[in-house]
Amino acid sequence: MATIQFKNVDKIYSGNECVVKDFNLDIEDGEFVVFLGPSGCGKSTTLRMLSGLEYISNGEVLIDGKVVNNLSPKDRNIAMVFQSYALYPHMTVFDNIGFSLKMAGESKSEINRQVRHVADMLQLTPLLNRKPKALSGGQRQRVAMGRALVRTPEVFLFDEPLSNLDAKLRNVMRAEIKELHKKHRKTTVYVTHDQVEAMTLADKVVILRDGVIEQVGTPKEIYHHPINHFVASFIGSPTMNMLPVVIETENDEWFARLNEHSINLPRALEIEMTTRSGVLGIRPCDVHLHASVDSIALDVYIDSTELLGSTTQVNGKVGAYEIVIEVEGDADVKVGEVVQFYLDSNKMHIFNSHGSVIL
């Protein structure tokens, strides 16, 4: 059992470059937490500080209430799986998995028992006598996971472990990692830039940008209630449409004006705005061809369409601004026409000029 706390953690490299800034986070026992963000946002650096592979410039990291800043990685009761499998090429699968047990002085019978138990769990038993060069990418990643599992640590750390796999294997390995966590309920911290991995695996997602936490929440909270423009545009594929608007009020009612369109905002806004400029965010899947009770009409000039099977991606313009819409695959939408679409007003987001959400 293990809880993790980051308290005011900074990471400063030479030249006073601060890559992680005032990082504060509580991770509960048994949680699966994913650090998500673009390259260079500090997610791997934060993970390496937790593991002991990077020193902590300021602040504290605690595991089960104990400050571990000065503990070596081997004394933190953690196991880490890297993007590179880091297997010993001259050793068999059996020896790779059991190496840490051998170094710990375990008996041959105990090593054999534990390695075979983990190998059976990961479907590696038929491969135990092979060397890494005779394995596929997915099999090598399983061996790397087995090497971590056999130690029975309290905390598992994953640093982009699926990046080297093809799309099909990533799907398979995601399911296996999720099943393993469900079975063992070990505290897990997982780093990725792939939002699909984050949304499918996580109990809690931590969105980072430039070394700072932007938002922490469940996958549903992050997707449906982004706290700012960055989170909204980062989560979702295709990305959320962002259309500049002017916020106006009249007779205690609020409006967002987009070119000649006036959009009546459905809920009263209790906001203080230093400027009346803003951004309307709407996901491509929340723009429809047919009206509903809470929809808002919008004329869209169709630039192009892309058939994706069950859906068609429509690329168009609202005035000078680009918009992407997802419709059914057999929808009759023609390039060069102006088509009336309908925005689901219950799924809209309004951001102020500073990027903070106000609706």
In eight-state DSSP terms, residue 348 is: -
Same domain assignment for residues 41 and 133: yes
Residue at 21 is within a domain: yes
Pairing of strands 241-250, 212-217: unpaired
Average pLDDT, stretch 298-326?
Answer: 93
Average pLDDT, stretch 16-37?
Answer: 95
Does residue 229 surpass a pLDDT of 60? Answer: yes
For residue 332, the model assigns a pLDDT of 87
CATH number (domain holding residue 252): 2.40.50.140
Same domain assignment for residues 30 and 140: yes
Same domain assignment for residues 257 and 321: yes
- Indicate the SS3 state at residue 140: helix
Same domain assignment for residues 197 and 244: no
Same domain assignment for residues 159 and 111: yes
Does residue 270 surpass a pLDDT of 60? Answer: no
Per-residue confidence band for 273, with pLDDT thresholds at 50, 70 and 90: low
Residue at 83 is within a domain: yes
Same domain assignment for residues 47 and 21: yes
Residue at 91 is within a domain: yes
Same domain assignment for residues 153 and 277: no
Q: Report the number of distinct structural domains present in the chain.
A: 2
For residue 123, the model assigns a pLDDT of 85
Residue at 18 is within a domain: yes
Measured CA to CA, the distance from residue 271 to residue 53 in angstroms comes to: 45
Residue at 359 is within a domain: no
Query: CA 204, 207, 211, 214 torsion: positive or negative?
Result: negative
Does residue 56 surpass a pLDDT of 70? Answer: yes
Which residue in this structure is represented by tokens 């916020």? 247
For residue 165, the model assigns a pLDDT of 77
Average pLDDT, stretch 9-15?
Answer: 90
Other CB atoms within a 10 A radius of the CB of residue 175 amount to 12
Average per-residue pLDDT in the chain? 89
Does residue 265 surpass a pLDDT of 60? Answer: yes
**Which of 188, 215, 233 is the last residue before a domain boundary?**
233
Does residue 6 surpass a pLDDT of 70? Answer: yes
Residue at 299 is within a domain: yes
Same domain assignment for residues 245 and 118: no
Same domain assignment for residues 240 and 184: no
**Which of 176, 210, 233 is the last residue before a domain boundary?**
233
Does residue 264 surpass a pLDDT of 80? Answer: no
Tell me how far CA of residue 246 lies from CA of 73, 191, 228, 280, in angstroms. Answer: 53, 38, 18, 9
pLDDT tens, residue by residue, 114-163? 999 889 888 899 999 999 999 988 888 889 888 888 877 889 999 998 88
Write the burial class of residue 251 (CB in 10 Å: 0-12 exposed, 13-18 middle, 19+ buried). exposed
Does residue 248 surpass a pLDDT of 90? Answer: no
Same domain assignment for residues 96 and 217: yes
Same domain assignment for residues 172 and 250: no
Measured CA to CA, the distance from residue 236 to residue 120 in angstroms comes to: 36
Which residue in this structure is represented by tokens 């699966």? 32
Portion of the chain with pLDDT greater than 90, in percent = 59
pLDDT tens, residue by residue, 231-245? 999 999 899 999 998
Q: What is the pTM of this model?
A: 0.88
Same domain assignment for residues 345 and 208: no
Residue at 358 is within a domain: no
Per-residue confidence band for 267, with pLDDT thresholds at 50, 70 and 90: low
For residue 275, the model assigns a pLDDT of 54
For residue 353, the model assigns a pLDDT of 80
- Nearest to 218, CA basis, from 46, 34, 357: 34
Buried b / exposed e along 117-142 (16+ C-beta atoms within 10 A): ebbebbebeebbeebbeebeebbbbb
Residue at 357 is within a domain: no
Domain span including residue 64: 4-233
**Which of 194, 209, 233 is the last residue before a domain boundary?**
233
Per-residue confidence band for 206, with pLDDT thresholds at 50, 70 and 90: very high
Measured CA to CA, the distance from residue 86 to residue 96 in angstroms comes to: 10
CATH number (domain holding residue 105): 3.40.50.300
Please provide the distance, in angstroms rounded to a whole number, between the alpha carbons at the two ends of the chain. 40
Look up residue 187 and give its two tokens.
Answer: 């505290």
Write the burial class of residue 246 (CB in 10 Å: 0-12 exposed, 13-18 middle, 19+ buried). middle
Tell me how far CA of residue 309 lies from CA of 57, 204, 251, in angstroms. Answer: 50, 32, 47
